[in-house]
Amino acid sequence: MPTDSRKGVFFDLGGTLVSAYPSVAEHISQSLAGFGYPTPHRKVTAALAAVPLVFDSPENRGWSLTRERSFAFWNGYYARVLAHLHLPQSRHTAIARHIYDKLSQPQGYALYPDVLPTLERLRCEGYVLGLISNWEAWGLDLIDQHGIGQYFPTQVLSGCAGVEKPDTAIYTLALAEAGIAPAQTLFVGDSPQFDVAPSLAVGMAAVLIDRHAERQQATPQRIRSLRELHDHPFLQP
């Protein structure tokens, strides 16, 4: 089949295909208990809601490119969460490192239930599948251990490519690797800023997956489940 006649569907990873399991709050609660600071889950959840997680500030750009930058970014964030929980500052570094380590391994994550059926259907229907994600290089192990690597001939992670969303260069790189035109490709991600805007900028179609109905005003191209892709206009004959 000629390259120009193929259609592709590319995906983000975190918040789109995988999430922390059982949850980020649970991982933090387990770490706190292990250090002798049992904390009600509701308090951890409230702290996470109260402490902003900012990816796009100048000082945080490049957070996913190396393990060192990743640790600095997440250690700072977890330390702010621990401060909000009134944990002793002298313990922040050790506890934050423990949380980081728990959330930097494949077993700390799980696929959303709609992922495998959707990927299998798209592959059977002949779509070119790809992955573009701001994730450290160990994300390749996560992809393989959760059984989705087989679906993605093109896997472009910022920690391997050396470029990070929303830089459109990471999209251009993935499209070139897949050998497919932007106009023939739909991108699915959970961030208006890091997924929808840059993919549209390079000429792809885009859809926002908003699993928890948190961004109702973000874009008219919004779905709650990957199962809804079946009815997306881009994927109609």
| Token pair in block for residue 60 | 């945080």
Together in a domain, 36 and 68:
yes
Together in a domain, 168 and 214:
yes
CB burial string 175-202: b at 16+ within 10 A, e below: beebebbbebbbbbbbbbebbbebbbeb
pLDDT at 1: 35
Together in a domain, 42 and 143:
no
| Per-residue pLDDT tens digits of the chain, which is 237 residues long | 334 578 999 999 999 999 999 999 999 999 999 999 999 999 999 999 999 999 888 888 999 999 999 999 999 999 999 999 999 999 999 999 999 999 999 999 999 999 999 999 999 999 999 999 999 999 999 999 999 999 999 999 999 999 999 999 999 999 999 999 999 999 999 999 999 999 999 999 999 999 988 776 656 588 999 999 988 899 987
Q: Which residue has 């897949």 as its token pair? A: 178
Of 61, 92, 107, which residue sits at a domain end? 107
Sign of CA dihedral 149, 167, 194, 63: positive
CB neighbours of residue 73 within 10 Å: 20
pLDDT at 3: 47
How many domains in the chain?
2
Here the CATH number for the domain that contains residue 193 is 3.40.50.1000
Element (H, E) at 99: helix 92-102
pTM score of the predicted model: 0.93
pLDDT at 147: 97
Enclosing domain of residue 94: 23-107
Antiparallel, parallel or unpaired: β 109-111 and 185-189: unpaired
User: Across the chain, which distance is largest between two alpha carbons, in Å?
Assistant: 62
pLDDT at 56: 82
